[in-house]
Chains A and B, each alone.
Chain A
Amino acid sequence: MTLDAIRDKLRTRERLSFDDGLALFAHPDVVAVGQLANEVREGLHGDRTYFNRNMRIEVTNVCVASCLFCSFAKLEEGAPGAHTMKLEEAWGELEARLDDPPAEIHIVNGLHPGLPFSYYEELLSGFKRIKPDIHMKCFTAVEIHFFATHYGMTYVEVLERLRRAGLDSLPGGGAEIFHPDVRSRISHDKATADEYLEVHRVAHGIGMKTNSTMLYGHIETFEHRVDHLMRLRGLQDETGGLQAFIPLAFHPDGNGMRNLPAPTAVDALRTVAVSRLLLDNVPHVKAYWVSMTPEVAQIALRFGADDLDGTIVHETIYRAAGSRSPSGLTVDNLVRLIQEAGRIPVERDTFYSVVREYPRATLPEAALKVRDRNANKHLEVLS
């Protein structure tokens, strides 16, 4: 099967169809699919490739949901390994790093049944007290939905109260796979697809930017993936509030789907590429290095992705599921990964404003004589 028809559509800016999406996922030659996605990516962003200084914090892994793919959540407070940070403990993560502070804090948690809503408000306002210009990208749509039902508020009320406390934007987690045939099996007891999308719609409605994700490579089919991407494209047509899409590879260790193999790198690159091609209205596609390893993320920068995410510092969710990616990268690591892929590194803020543009390396061929060049293989974990 050739990709000519799809290439022609892309050249004439005709929107790709559901069937086009399926054809791209099923096409035998991932390199040819990647090349198309790369053309689109370079049309949008040239060689510019974004990253930011961010820091992941998970304040609690206590969770009432029982998602099959999760190796992170401990159902009840007091269960072995269950942990909920004291506010001071969470704030301390930032305070310890004020000499080289992150620009963004990215908080994702379990759905804790026993905390007062004020815990989250204080959490946010405390960070802002420590560093007023810090960007707080916190709580997935699934958490927002949980807050609304658990504390008896509407989505708008939840979002507005959190915004007053310091919330700036929403991360994209919790999307998993929207299609009910899959969602009912892997995460039946949390926000539905419609609820997830509604939270984002409401957030966009009050001027709050969000990201979105897709957890792929478990029991879903290509139809489910395309359906997922189409639903996001539809939402974005309505609101325009999605900044970035992040495909997340399923990791099987220690969770309810541990018998499944993890998706391979070829699948990861293909998913990045097809996402870039179908989501014609979402500006950025991330190669989330935590999910796909820094090495494969580097290749993904030529398969449609234009963003590596950030320094992360303390990722624990993927590590719990057996990812061999490090838990954090330095800015130098990120810059080098991008340069080695032949791209121009651009440090951004959460809204993709340029903080600093780095030079293009003369790679791939000319020698860059700097110490520890294989930073991508031997990553220093920040601690």
Chain B
Amino acid sequence: MTARDSGDRLRVAAVAYLNARPLYEGLDREPASARVRLDCASPSEVARSVAEDEVDVALMPVAAAASVGDLRLVRGCAIGSRGAVRSVVLVGDRPVDSLEELAVDLSSRTSVVLARLVLRARNAGREPRLLGSTPREAIAGVRGVRGALVIGDPALEIEGRFPFTLDLGLAWWEMTGLPFVFAAWCGRQGALSVDDERLLQDARLEGLARRDAIADAHAERTGQPAASLRSYLHDAVRYDLGDEERRGLERFYDDAAKGGLLPRADVRFFDDDRHKVFPVESLDTLLARAAEGDRLSAAEGERLVADASLFDLGLAADAVRQRKHPHQVVTYIVDRNVNYTNVCTTSCRFCAFYRPLGHPEAWVLSRDQLAQKLKEVVDADGVQILLQGGLHPELRIEWYEDLFRWIKSEFRLGLHALSPEEILHIGRLEGLSVRAVLERLHAAGLDSVPGGGAEILVDRVRRKIAKAKCTSDEWLGVMRVAHHMGLRSSATMMYGTVDTARDRIGHLVKIRDLQDETRGFTAFFCWDFQHERGTRIESGDSGTVLYLRQQAVARILLDNVDHVGASWVTQGPEVGQVALRFGADDFGSVMFEENVVSSAGTTFCMNAESMERRIRAAGFKAARRNVRYDWLTQPV
């Protein structure tokens, strides 16, 4: 049952960090190299490759493993510590327990969770505010009440530089009396044979014997002292994963789950499966945990999708909504979707809206046309416009800046504009970074970023349906930058093409992970692909029952996103209303027009009165909102 590459080699991914080399280097040499295809990548990329089934086994940070869920570990091999580890440290000008802010690389999730658990334990549950940052900025920003979490090479480089340092490996050891495991070989159940495991275990033995050579080579590359690196690999980092390490990891998972930082996870070895049957949590227990707001792993999300009934999901999602929004209020917004151009260079296979530049049906809205539309929004008590368009190859950033300034000076409307794809496009056209583009547009009046174009944030799917579009990481990267600048955005999912249940869960977990970092997503909306003539792709999973299930699962998994909206524009007002009982607390927009979806054949209209009537008939009070989900009217 093991999946292999075309040459029948085991697909292995590892993190290209110094402390990982002793575990994987041997795989790149004969005789192992004939049996292994080894890829080295960043920790998040390694975790992604396991979640998306691109590799059989990966050397993976343990927090990411918990997020995927239900993985197996290779006994005997890990990157860990029993006491000081040197490469995961908190630093400050003052004692770390008195810090009020902590700059961290939020994508280093295992270390961040460890730091938070340690600080909470030492300070009666209190912890500093976390600030997302690059390692260099984090170190440079240390002063006064602001400290930094530093990991990897930078941590070794700054040894002794700060008056106060807390080694998190040591702190954990002192707190628990147990080793800490940072990363281990992880894969899905059944992914490795006994021989495969032996291969990894043999590579470890070989690597441990070569630690001095590995340290020396690294010293040469980085200029760090070789003796220090040798000692680091021999004395600080531990490569064992036995019963004691297992207990340490179990303790970490347990504390993190109790603290709401990670999904609950068990520690299971590949070889356990060969002589042990693990009890399976009952579906009722899983649903109860979901309803109570426990964070679920991707594997648990998949289990819900596979086994839970429509009602199980609906009632659990409704319980989550009820807990997050106890006032029984469903909001909606009066805004208008304005497409400024239908010219687009991407030609996505699912889009019936775009036209190439120069096509007789291609258009760019004039100021007069826009003014007319925006005036109608103001006259209808609208509060914002959602401005999106195709990727026009000739509209420069100045055009957008002028447009935004004009809109903001002429109309009192929020400007929810330009999805990540358009921002990336403008960046490419101008040779500017995403940050630079967003800063200029923000200065010109951009208020928030719509979450369109996410489709499914799994590149295998994206390549099939929208080859020219940005990758998952690019999409998430734009949102990360926008959020860090204080812009808010929505998150979306369009499913129902070539995506599988696992892809859809993976999409949700990626949004959840970024949300942990930024807290910038206000709401989540999903809908199924609207098939229509003019598009060149066939529909996959669809149907209104699936829509309700999908939305309910999203409400359950996205524990850190405040709002879930019902997409009545695609599902129709009827199903949209029913969706309010399946976890949604928002009914979206009273829409004037929506060119993209309507050119695919879906056209629904609903005015505010009809919207409120449906909200009330579903058992809620209705309130108008703005883009930040503040109530603009008293709920009635």
Contact = CB atoms under 8 A, between A and B. Distances in A.
Contact of A266 (B306, B498, B581): B581
Given A28-B619, A299-B545, A363-B543, A265 B577 contact: yes
B531 interface: yes
A372 interface: yes
Interface stretch (A17-25, A205-213, A335-343): A335-343
Interface in B520-575: 528-532, 538-546, 548-549, 571-575
Interface string B293-311: 0000000000001100011
B283 to A, nearest CB: 15
Contact of A299 (B500, B531, B542, B575): B575
Contacts of B498: 367
A85 B548 CA distance: 44
Nearest to B531: A374
Nearest to B549: A364
A377 interface: yes
Contacts of A299: 544-545, 548, 575, 578
Interface string A88-113: 00000000000000000000000000
B310 A365 contact: no
Interface in A296-323: 296, 298-299, 301-302
A250 B548 CA distance: 25
Nearest to B302: A365
A365 B305 contact: yes
Interface stretch (A29-37, A183-191, A229-237): A29-37
B196 to A, nearest CB: 29
Contact of A292 (B310, B318, B573, B574): B574
A167 interface: no
B429 interface: no
A305 to B, nearest CB: 13
A373 B538 contact: yes
B305 to A, nearest CB: 6
B617 interface: yes
Given A266-B578, A298-B543, A377 B601 contact: yes
A34 B531 contact: no
B501 interface: yes
Contacts of B541: 363-368
Contacts of A13: none
A295 interface: yes
B544 to A, nearest CB: 5
A30 B602 contact: no
Interface residues of B, number: 45
Given A265-B578, A363-B541, A293 B572 contact: yes
Contact of A261 (B310, B538, B580, B610): B610
Contacts of A264: 574, 577, 613-614, 617-618
Given A264-B577, A374-B531, A31 B540 contact: no
B327 to A, nearest CB: 14
A376 B542 CA distance: 10
A340 B529 CA distance: 15
Given A29-B318, A295-B571, A378-B531, A340 B578 contact: no
B487 interface: no
Contact of A30 (B530, B532, B581): B581
Contacts of B572: 293, 295
B577 A341 contact: no
Contacts of A365: 305-306, 500-501, 541, 546
Interface in B579-598: 580-582
A378 B544 contact: no
Contacts of B151: none
Contacts of B582: 31
Nearest to B603: A324
Contacts of A336: 543
A31 B529 CA distance: 26
B314 interface: yes
B542 A373 contact: yes
A76 interface: no
Contacts of B532: 378
B608 interface: no
Contacts of B573: 265
A296 B538 contact: no
Contacts of B549: 364
Contact of A31 (B306, B314, B528, B542): B314
B16 interface: no
A337 B546 CA distance: 11
A35 B543 contact: no
B315 interface: yes
A271 interface: no
Contact of B618 (A266, A370, A377): A266
A34 B582 CA distance: 12
Given A341-B545, A363-B541, A35 B315 contact: yes
Given A31-B318, A293-B572, A365-B305, A372 B577 contact: no
Contact of B538 (A30, A38, A298, A371): A371
A367 B528 CA distance: 13
A280 interface: no
A293 B311 contact: no
A363 B601 CA distance: 24
Nearest to A36: B311
A296 B574 contact: yes
A29 B575 CA distance: 16
A170 interface: no
Nearest to A28: B619
Nearest to B528: A374
Given A264-B574, A265-B575, A377-B530, A34 B542 contact: no
A340 B618 contact: no
A329 interface: no
B617 A267 contact: yes
Nearest to B602: A377
A366 B544 CA distance: 15
B294 to A, nearest CB: 21
A369 interface: yes
Contacts of A295: 544, 571-572, 574-575
A123 interface: no
A266 B574 CA distance: 8
A368 to B, nearest CB: 7
Q: Which residue, B540, B573, B581, B619, has most C-beta atoms of chain A within 10 A?
A: B581
A377 B619 CA distance: 27
B73 to A, nearest CB: 28
A374 B571 CA distance: 11
B310 A367 contact: no
A30 B619 CA distance: 9
18 contacts: A28-B619, A30-B581, A31-B311, A266-B578, A266-B581, A267-B617, A302-B545, A340-B545, A367-B540, A367-B541, A368-B541, A369-B538, A372-B531, A373-B539, A374-B539, A374-B542, A377-B530, A378-B532
The 6 A-B residue pairs with the shortest CB-CB distance in the complex, in nearest-first order: A340-B543, A373-B539, A265-B574, A35-B311, A365-B501, A264-B617
Given A31-B581, A293-B574, A298-B545, 18 more contacts: A28-B619, A30-B618, A31-B311, A31-B582, A32-B311, A264-B577, A264-B618, A265-B614, A266-B614, A295-B571, A302-B545, A336-B543, A341-B545, A365-B305, A365-B501, A365-B546, A366-B500, A368-B540
Interface of A: 28-32, 34-35, 38, 261, 263-269, 292-293, 295-296, 298-299, 301-302, 336-337, 340-342, 363-374, 376-378
